[in-house]
Structure 1
Amino acid sequence: MTEQNSRTSRLGWRRLLAATAATGVWTACLTGLAPSVAVADDIQSQQWYLDQMKAEEMWKVSQGEGVKVAVVDSGVDSSIPTLRGQVLPGKDLSGGPRDEMKDRDGHGTSMAQLIAGTGADGSVKGIAPKAKILSFKTGGDPAGRAGNGAVLFMGETIRAAAESDAQIINVSLAGGPDQVTRKAIDYAVSKGKLVFAGTGNEGKGGNFRQYPAALPEVAGIAAMGKSGKVADFSTHGRDTTLAGPGLDVPAWCDGKKKKYCVKGNGGTSAATAITSGAAALLWAKHPDWTANQVLRVLIKTASGTNKGKGRSKYLGYGGVRPRINLLEGKGDPGDPDISPLTGEKTINSRAGQKSSPGKGSDKDDAPDKVKVADSSSDDGSSNVLWISLGAVALVIVLSGGAFAWARARRE
């Protein structure tokens, strides 16, 4: 990667993202906005989606064992009880102290535990508790925090994750378009990786397209609540592939990791992490599948798909439901080499497999590209404050207007 490309990446992520309030400025100060609970409390009782997704039943079939998920974020604190023994070395490209196992922000650690937390000491339990996390720390803040400039090295960090042996790449961050990130995603797909990214939390703030979720090879994840309806803050449109639980989801209140915040927390960040964990469950059960097949089954078994609604601009193909495959055996994986997102053949799509590629049981029943029929019938009426875990917003003035940088989260 040339110095010019690296510079382009940083500028691109700085320049575009969220619409601001009338003043053109927003301030993210969140921790005090949501009720918190001490770590010693049983936070699992507040993970409402575990019951809805029938996690205990799914875990009898698969817990994600053998699958690795790269978390591109603010770092992952591997010392907390729920993540002890769950985090493997990745890489730190934050520009700060070189240690991807440290997380001064708390966001990356929250995402990792939603994916693969063991639930030790009554803490958060991940949807795939036997999967492993690889931490890839992005940033730009000299102190190593993600709150100020967290996406400045996004493309470089995604490329590093693509070079690892992780099968899934979780990006619970967002920014503006740039060529370095686009090329990194292309590279990741060519290596057989399955990439999930949050669509963003701009549903009430301009609804701008956010990257990398807006790239055609990336599965964009929206946030939904207990009712199965889209959260009103969730960015919507043609980039939405699936939806995951993203409202009232436990997360660390701040980088100190002493308390969880629940009410109002989550966002497309959490929805993306839970969806990555759902993919890990499927891949552990079907290690011979490719990334295309895992994603195709998630799409075909989503909550909206079986109701004949087609694709919605709010929830995509619907809420993610790995239990439909794990417990009911439904969902044809289809062609291993054809992307269900683009309908095109991916290069080296078998790279993420554990063994030889599987055979789709009936290719006619598993179209290479799922048909899209836009629907706006989903209700986005949740009354939730638009907030994020970061404590600082980076304000940029472009073309006479003020724009703010933000990560794709709702906490």
Structure 2
Amino acid sequence: MLWRGTAAVLGLVVFGVGATPAHAATVRSKQWHLTSMHAEEIWQRSTGKGVTIALIDTGVKAVPELSGRLVGGSDFPGAGTAGNKNGGTTTAAVIAGTGKGPGGQESAYGLAPGAKIMPLNISDGYTGKGSLADQEKAVNAGLAPALRHAADSDAKIISVSVSLPVLAFDTSPEVRDAVAYAMAKGKLVFAGVGYASYLDDQVVNSPASLPGVVGVTAIDSKLTRIKGTGVGQNVDIAAPGTEIVSACAGSTGLCRTKSTEVAAALAAASAALVWSEHPDWTRNQVLRVLLNTIAGPSDGAVRNDFIGYGAVRPLRALKTPGDPGPRDEYPLDDYTSPTPTPTPTPSAATPAPAPSASAGTPDLASGAGTDGHSTGFRIALGVCAAGLLCLAVGTPLLVADHRRRRSADRRTAWPTGPGGTGGPPASTVPMPAGRHQQR
């Protein structure tokens, strides 16, 4: 994939944002990302039934919202060593939560409540000791065999929730080969691009940086990219990734989450919805339709290095999928399918821009473009422009962000009990940063 220099325009054209339900506050009414995607209308067409997603994370607890959704879990080297051994519960619930909490009480939904989750458990690298290289080794020891297991399974989609920075290390050959193996087996692989730098360095975490993997970044309720997320040619698409209300393994049963891995889970769920509706399609066709129905950058560019081609719109993909294109040609240009179609079609080379707003769902909201740079970036520029202590200011910012090298869920447990309907009070305190911190 060639690097494309673009302005940092991070807004989206249109993204199906509807009004919050008018009824009294419920858990569902606080799931803004499902309201944005018009989930109820989606579920009239598809729930993801018949599609299994292999979720590579640190472990999934069988909470009520995931009853009947979990199949064939397996442990790999490092499983059970993470600070939060049930970190994948949140991600799994974001995909396939049924909305039924303890005792059948109303609770959080996933985007594809009919899909199945195959938990593949590995280490997140946070062993509490050792060097960065030791942490990398701990993750890769489980990630490579988990990817191969998923490739050999009945799962059509793989969502990876554990990532590694590529600032300091090269991706291990075992993980690179495992990704290639999964791609050759026709799997659709999603991974969060991670957190790189508030100075918007060109960095995307592994395995999102590997050929064929769909690198997913996170956007907020204003449809703009979350500051500090990965930037680069391997950012492919965006999905909601902050203030995501879901079931979790915490003591109250509900959490608010922020991470690019949750965004990747929503992208994977979007693919499951489409694949369920079109079970005869290949991985390539499902992804092509997601790309062709995407909400692109608001400046009219086909893509940029901050939000990729734009935000996924599963309802648009279900209602007006268009031509899915060749079965054997991968639609992203960083990977060539082993058996490409002899005569490629133009639609396979570069995804078409999103359809105009007039073709969309009612109550669409416009995503206003921004320059996308963080406060830290502007401060550093201002200091540099004045000729004062540029290195002294810029270097600590880079170092501080590098220490946040792994994707960080910031989960806040709600004080209501499992299945409760109250929202988070103003006094809630965010949980410590870290991909799998104890909630």
TM-score (norm 1): 0.72
Is 1:116 equivalent to 2:96 in the alignment? yes
* Residue matched to 1:220: 215
Output one character per residue of 1:238-297: Cα deviation in whole Å (capped at 9) or x when no partner: 1111000011112567x54434332xx322011001110000000000111111111111
Matches within 5 A, 1:50-89: 50-78=34-62, 80-89=63-72
Matches within 5 A, 1:2-401: 42-78=26-62, 80-96=63-79, 104-121=84-101, 122-139=106-123, 149=135, 151-152=139-140, 153-175=142-164, 176=166, 177-204=171-198, 207=201, 208-251=203-246, 256-262=250-256, 265-304=257-296, 308-327=300-319, 329-342=320-333, 345-347=336-338, 364=345, 366-370=347-351, 378-380=370-372
Distance 2:271 2:98 in 1: 17
Unaligned runs of 5+ in 2: 1-24, 128-133, 354-368, 377-398, 411-439
Shift of 1:343: 6.9
Does the residue aligned with 1:119 lie in a helix, a strand or coil? strand
With over 3 angstroms needed to count, the CA separation of the structure-2 counterparts of 1:158 and 1:364, relative to structure 1, is closer
Shift of 1:43: 2.7
Shift of 1:206: 6.7
Shift of 1:70: 0.3
Output one character per residue of 1:3-31: Cα deviation in whole Å (capped at 9) or x when no partner: xxxxxxxxxxxxxxxxxxxxxxxxxxxxx
Distance 1:120 1:108 in 2: 18
Does the residue aligned with 1:151 lie in a helix, a strand or coil? helix
With over 3 angstroms needed to count, the CA separation of the structure-2 counterparts of 1:55 and 1:113, relative to structure 1, is same
Shift of 1:172: 1.8
Distance 1:292 1:305 in 2: 23
Residue 326 of structure 2 contacts residue 345 of structure 2 at CA under 8 Å; is this kept in 1? no
User: Match of 2:90, as an amino acid?
Assistant: S
Counting matched residue pairs gives 329
Does the residue aligned with 2:110 lie in a helix, a strand or coil? coil
Residue identity (%)? 36
Residue 299 of structure 1 contacts residue 305 of structure 1 at CA under 8 Å; is this kept in 2? no
Residue 217 of structure 2 contacts residue 307 of structure 2 at CA under 8 Å; is this kept in 1? yes
With over 3 angstroms needed to count, the CA separation of the structure-2 counterparts of 1:367 and 1:217, relative to structure 1, is same
Q: Which moved more, 1:178-187 or 1:244-253?
A: 244-253
Residue 173 of structure 1 contacts residue 409 of structure 1 at CA under 8 Å; is this kept in 2? no
Shift of 1:227: 1.3
User: Match of 2:47, as an amino acid?
Assistant: Q
Distance 1:348 1:68 in 2: 25
Output one character per residue of 1:357-387: Cα deviation in whole Å (capped at 9) or x when no partner: xx9xx97452334489xxxx65436789xxx
With over 3 angstroms needed to count, the CA separation of the structure-2 counterparts of 1:166 and 1:97, relative to structure 1, is same
Shift of 1:345: 4.5
Distance 2:350 2:61 in 1: 39
Shift of 1:178: 1.1
CA RMSD of aligned residues (A): 3.3
With over 3 angstroms needed to count, the CA separation of the structure-2 counterparts of 1:210 and 1:371, relative to structure 1, is farther
TM-score (norm 2): 0.67
Does the residue aligned with 1:133 lie in a helix, a strand or coil? strand
User: Match of 2:88, as an amino acid?
Assistant: G
Distance 2:161 2:331 in 1: 21
